[in-house]
Amino acid sequence: MALAGLWGCATLKPAPAPAPRPAPPKAVRGSPLLSPREAGFHATMTQQISLVKGSSRYDALGVVEISSSVFTVVGMGPLGNRLVALSWDGVAVTKELDASVPRMLPVEDILRQTQLVYWPVEALRPALLPGWELNLQPGRRELLDHGKVTIAITYLGDRFTDPIEVEDRAVGYKIIIKTLELSNE
């Protein structure tokens, strides 16, 4: 008894269990999220992003980082405040949202659409769910659900340096992406 009190054995507590990792996102909108490694390149892009829905337009600044181990998208408001930070390591999505951003924002869709824009077709096509296909035309990619275009991506030149338009027909908005700065690692 004296030794137990001396060494404090009676007060030892087990170490807390590590926080569980979030489950990987389910495959939706035609495909699961692909691993960052499947991009086949490393890059950091600073971009001007305009979201247009009907007569409304919202402009933001974004940073996309792609490496073999992690894919990160950060969106900042017009005053430089960070609105959203998303990371995908091939296992789990982590997200940080500003209090002004709706909690129901489908963040995995932001990651999926970015992958549709930049990942090579050879990586995208095999991952598509049954009934979905990726149609290619010069300067354009289309994601089709049972023959119906749901997302249309138009490249106005090089996909890394020139403007890109992403039209999400299922939700009814268009995103215009202009790369301001690109660095390849």
Q: Map 49-112 to HEC letters.
A: EEEEECCEEEEEEEEEEECCCCEEEEEECCCCCEEEEEEECCCCEEEEECCCCCCCCCHHHHHH
Contact 151, 134 (CB under 8 A): no
Structure-block tokens of residue 65? 């980082």
Q: Is the pLDDT of residue 105 over 50?
A: yes
Q: Which of 39-53, 94-108, 140-154, 163-177 has the lowest mean pLDDT?
A: 94-108
Q: Report pLDDT for 22.
A: 45
Residue 8 falls within a domain, yes or no?
no
Residue 89 falls within a domain, yes or no?
yes
Residue 70 falls within a domain, yes or no?
yes
Residue 26 falls within a domain, yes or no?
no
Residue 178 falls within a domain, yes or no?
yes
Residue 7 falls within a domain, yes or no?
no
Instruction: Report the CATH number at residue 93.
Output: 2.50.20
Distance CA(78)–CA(164), nearest Å, equals 20
Q: Is the pLDDT of residue 7 over 60?
A: no
Q: Is the pLDDT of residue 103 over 80?
A: no
pLDDT tens string 121-131: 999 999 998 99
Residue 3 falls within a domain, yes or no?
no
Considering the entire predicted model, what is its pTM? Answer: 0.80
**How many structural domains are present in the chain?**
1
Q: Which domain holds residue 125?
A: 33-183
Q: What is the mean pLDDT of the chain?
A: 85
Residue 106 falls within a domain, yes or no?
yes
pLDDT grade for 10, boundaries at 50, 70 and 90: very low
